[in-house]
A and B are shown apart, each in its own frame.
Chain A
C-alpha cells in the first residue's frame, strides 16, 4: 500500500500559526489537569453534608492564562531567543544582550533616586496616599533596591566572579554590622536597630550558616567520597544531645563540650561506618537512613536520659570564652562589663560570628584535606573503588575517615544548635532534615564549597524569605496565606534549578594539584560514586 505524504505537511508553519496551535494544546492540557483541581471544590455545610462548589471562572482564568502564556512564548519569546544567537550581517556583531539592555545607567540612576526617596519618606507615605497604595509603594521600593543591586552585580560581574570567595567572606563578616547600622539609621535609634536585627541575624544569618556547615560536613561523605548518606542528621542529633546532656548535667562549658561533641559524633560515624562498609549505592543509603531513625527513636524512648519527646531545656548559653556572659543576671554580663545598654542582640551577633567561625574552620579543613593524600583518596574512591585497591589504598579506613570527618562536623553543628536554641527535642532531627541537607549538597554541586554555600543560602534563605510575602495579600485579598505556598514555590524552584543545571550550581571540580595551569574539571567527567 503506497503512502503519500501530503505536501502541506512539508511546509513550515509560520510562528503565528504554530503559536496558535500550541496555545490551544496547552490550554487543553491545562484544562484536563485542572478541571478537577480548580474547577470543583468540595466542602461541608453546617449540617455536615458534602457540598460541591464549582469555580468555573477561576478555571477559565487559569486555562486562558496558560494558553496566552504559551502563545506569547512561542510567537515572541522563541524567535527573540533565536535572534539573540544570530549575528548581524552588516556589523558582524551579536545583538546586544538582554541583560545589557535591561541594566542601563539612566534606569540605574532613576532606581537609586526612587529607592532613596521612598526610604526617606517611608513613615509619612501612608499619611499622604492612604494605607493601601503605600503598601504598593513599599513593594516598588523593594523592586528598586533589587534592581540597583542587580545592576551593581551585573557591571562588576567579572570582578565578582574572580574574587567570589573573598567577597563572600567579607560580606558575611560585615553582615550583622550592616544590618544593625541600616536598621538603626532607618529608625534613628541604636536600641531599636539592635532589636530589629534579631530577625535578620538569627532567622537568616545563623540559620543559613548552620545549614552551610551541615552541608559542608555531608559534602565530605557524599560529595567527595561518594557515599550516599541519608542519615546525616543522626550525627547532628548526637552533637546536640551531647552538649545538651553534658552541659545541663555537669555544667561543663561550651568550649570543652564542642570538641567533645565532635569526637562523640565522629565515634558514632565510625560505628556506623563499620557495618555499612560492604554496602554500596541504594543499600548504603537505606542503612544510613535506618541509622538516622534509630538514633531518633532512641532519643524518644530512652526517657530516663533524654527526657523523651519533651526534650531537654535550660541548656546553658555559650560564654564569651569565659570572660563575659550573656546572662543578664550574671555579674560579668556583657552589657555591664562594657558599659552599654542591655540587649538580646549581642548574644545573637556573638552566635553569628561563632557559627561563621565554625563554618570557616570546616571550609579550611575540607580544602586542606582535599590536597592531602586522604582527601585525594576520597575522591579516587568516588571515581573507582577497584582501581583504588589496585593502588594499595586501604578502602576500609579511607571510607571510615570520610564518615568520621563528616560526622564530626555534624557534631560541631549539633552542639552549636543546642547552645543557640537552649532546647533540644527529637523533633528537630527528623528525616526531612537529612533530606534538606542532602538537597543542598546536590543543588550546590557535589564537592564544591562555594556552590553548596550558595545553595544553602537559596534554600534556607529562600524558605525564610517566602514567609515575608505579606504584600501578596494586597493582590489576592486578606484570606490569602502566602506561607502555605512556600513549599510549593520552593519545590518548583528546585525542579527548575535541576533542569537548568543538572549538576548543581557549580558543576565543575577544582583540581587539587596542577603542573602548569589550574583548570577546572568539567562535571561530565566526574562520577557520583556508587555508595
Chain B
C-alpha cells in the first residue's frame, strides 16, 4: 500500500543492506554526485572515501533524506526482510521506519541538554508510543514509567560503551571534542539503527581518542548488529576497521573493493596524491587536448588549482554529466586525476602499465590524503 515500502521477496538480496543505484545529485549547474552505484553489505563496515568536495557528505544527505536526489534509487533492506526506497521517504521517517541513523561532519548535539537527555531524545518515537502520544504520560500511567526507565537503561548502556557514563548529567556542550564525537555516535545508536552512517567520526581526534573510536565502532559492528557506512579521511582508521571501501572523486566512483585493493588502485592514488605535472601534460598532449596545449602556451595553469588538491576552491566544475558519452561524468578537463590515469592507460598501451602504478605505489604506505581535514 505504501509505495516506499516494498516487502522483500528475495532473501538473497538481503545480503546488501543498502543499495545505491545510479544516484546523481545536482546543485544548479554543479554535479555533486554523478551516477553513483554501490552496495553496503549487512554486518560490514563500508568506508566512503575521497578528496575534499568529492560528494561524500552529499551521498549521506541523500541517504538520510536531507536532500532529494536528482536521479537514482537508494534501497534499504531491513533485517526483517522489508525494503524501503529511501529517496521516497520523508526525512524524519528514514530513521524512524528504515532504521538509518547518522552523525554529522560538524557535530550536532543538543548542547544545552545533558548527555542523558540527548540519548533520551534519540528514543523519541519509542517513548512517544509508550506515553500514548503524551496523553497517558500526562496522567502518569505506569506503562509509560516502565518504558521511561527502560529508555534510561538503554541510554546508560550506550553511555558506558562510549565511556561517558561519569559525565551523564553534564551538558553536552561542556564535553571535550572527542567525547562529543562519541556522544553523537551513542545518540545515533540509541535510535536502534540497522545502518549507522558516520560522517568523519575521527576528524579532529588525537591518536588515543581515535583508537578508542575504532574500538567503539568494531564493538558496535560485533554486538549491536548494525552495519556501518563510514566517511573518513584518516586512512589508518579506514584501513584498520573497514571491510569494504568505495572511493569517490568529483562525485564519481573511481574504485570499489577491499581496503587492500583500493590502496593499490592507481586511480585512487592519482586522485589522492596526484599525477606528476609533466606526466599529465604529456598524456594530455598525446591525447590532443587543445585546452592543455593552449594553457601550456599561456603560462601557469590556474584551472588546475594549487597542486592536485581538489578542494572547494578548485574553481567551478562544469556540468558535463555526459549521458551521450555512455554514463560517464566528466568534470573540467584535467581536473580529475583518476580520469587522467585512465586516459593515459588507454592512449599509451605500449608503455608498460606498471609505470603508471609502480611509482605512486611506492608512496602508498605513507599515503595520507592531501586534501585531508584542515
A residues lining the B interface (CB < 8 Å): 365, 368-369, 372-374, 376-377, 379-380, 383-384, 386-395, 401, 509, 511-519, 521-522, 524-527
Chain B residues closer than 8 Å to A365, beta-carbon distance: 138
Chain B residues closer than 8 Å to A511, beta-carbon distance: 113-114, 116-117, 169
**Closest residue on chain B to residue A509 by CB atoms:** B112
Show 16 residue pairs from A and B whose CB-CB distance is below 8 angstroms, ordered by the A residue.
A372-B131, A376-B113, A379-B117, A380-B110, A387-B104, A387-B108, A388-B92, A391-B101, A392-B92, A511-B117, A512-B120, A513-B152, A514-B114, A515-B116, A516-B169, A527-B112
**Closest residue on chain A to residue B128 by CB atoms:** A373
Chain A residues closer than 8 Å to B127, beta-carbon distance: 372-373
Chain A residues closer than 8 Å to B152, beta-carbon distance: 513, 515
The 5 closest A-B pairs by CB, nearest first: A526-B112, A392-B95, A392-B96, A525-B173, A383-B110
With A369-B134, A511-B117, A519-B170 already in contact, the answer to whether A393 and B110 are too (CB < 8 A) is no
With A390-B64, A516-B168, A527-B112 already in contact, the answer to whether A372 and B138 are too (CB < 8 A) is yes
State the Cβ distance, A366 to closest chain B Cβ, in Å: 11
**Closest residue on chain B to residue A447 by CB atoms:** B112
Assembly CA distance A386 to B174 (angstroms): 20
Q: Is the CB of A393 within 8 A of B174?
A: no
Q: Is the CB of A377 within 8 A of B121?
A: yes
Q: Is the CB of A374 within 8 A of B165?
A: no
B 52-68 binary contact with A (CB < 8 Å = 1; else 0)? 00000000000011100
Chain B residues closer than 8 Å to A372, beta-carbon distance: 127, 131, 134, 137-138, 144
With A514-B169, A527-B112 already in contact, the answer to whether A376 and B120 are too (CB < 8 A) is yes
Assembly CA distance A522 to B169 (angstroms): 12
**Closest residue on chain A to residue B94 by CB atoms:** A392
Chain B residues closer than 8 Å to A373, beta-carbon distance: 120-121, 123-124, 127-128, 131, 134, 137
Assembly CA distance A509 to B152 (angstroms): 20
Query: Does any Cβ of A come within 8 Å of B91's Cβ?
Result: yes
Q: Is the CB of B134 within 8 A of A374?
A: yes
Assembly CA distance A383 to B93 (angstroms): 20
Beyond known contacts A376-B113, A386-B66, A521-B112: 8 more, CB 8 A cutoff? A372-B131, A386-B104, A392-B94, A394-B92, A512-B120, A514-B168, A515-B116, A525-B173
Chain B residues closer than 8 Å to A387, beta-carbon distance: 104, 108-110
Assembly CA distance A394 to B174 (angstroms): 27
Assembly CA distance A512 to B172 (angstroms): 14
Query: Does any Cβ of A come within 8 Å of B332's Cβ?
Result: no
Q: Is the CB of A376 within 8 A of B117?
A: yes
B 109-151 binary contact with A (CB < 8 Å = 1; else 0)? 1111110110011111101100100100110100010000000
Query: Does any Cβ of A come within 8 Å of B14's Cβ?
Result: no
State the Cβ distance, B126 to closest chain A Cβ, in Å: 8
Q: Is the CB of B134 within 8 A of A521?
A: no
Chain A residues closer than 8 Å to B112, beta-carbon distance: 379, 383, 509, 521, 525-527
With A373-B127, A376-B117, A390-B102 already in contact, the answer to whether A519 and B169 are too (CB < 8 A) is yes
User: When the two chains form the complex, which single residue of A377, A389, A525 contacts B171, counting CB atoms closer than 8 Å?
Assistant: A525
Assembly CA distance A368 to B148 (angstroms): 13
With A372-B134, A392-B124 already in contact, the answer to whether A380 and B191 are too (CB < 8 A) is no
Assembly CA distance A512 to B137 (angstroms): 14
Assembly CA distance A95 to B354 (angstroms): 83
Query: Does any Cβ of A come within 8 Å of B156's Cβ?
Result: yes
Query: Does any Cβ of A come within 8 Å of B187's Cβ?
Result: yes
Chain A residues closer than 8 Å to B144, beta-carbon distance: 372
Q: Is the CB of A515 within 8 A of B168?
A: yes
Q: Is the CB of A521 within 8 A of B171?
A: yes
State the Cβ distance, B155 to closest chain A Cβ, in Å: 8
Assembly CA distance A394 to B96 (angstroms): 9
Assembly CA distance A386 to B156 (angstroms): 24
Assembly CA distance A389 to B173 (angstroms): 19
Chain B residues closer than 8 Å to A509, beta-carbon distance: 112
Assembly CA distance A517 to B116 (angstroms): 12
Chain A residues closer than 8 Å to B95, beta-carbon distance: 390-392
Assembly CA distance A102 to B110 (angstroms): 44
With A373-B128, A517-B169 already in contact, the answer to whether A391 and B114 are too (CB < 8 A) is no
Q: Is the CB of B116 within 8 A of A390?
A: no
Looking at A365, A384, A387, A391, the one whose CB has the most chain B CB atoms below 10 A away is A391
**Closest residue on chain A to residue B172 by CB atoms:** A525
Assembly CA distance A386 to B122 (angstroms): 13
State the Cβ distance, A259 to closest chain B Cβ, in Å: 15
Assembly CA distance A372 to B124 (angstroms): 9
State the Cβ distance, A316 to closest chain B Cβ, in Å: 31
With A368-B138, A374-B134, A514-B169 already in contact, the answer to whether A391 and B121 are too (CB < 8 A) is yes
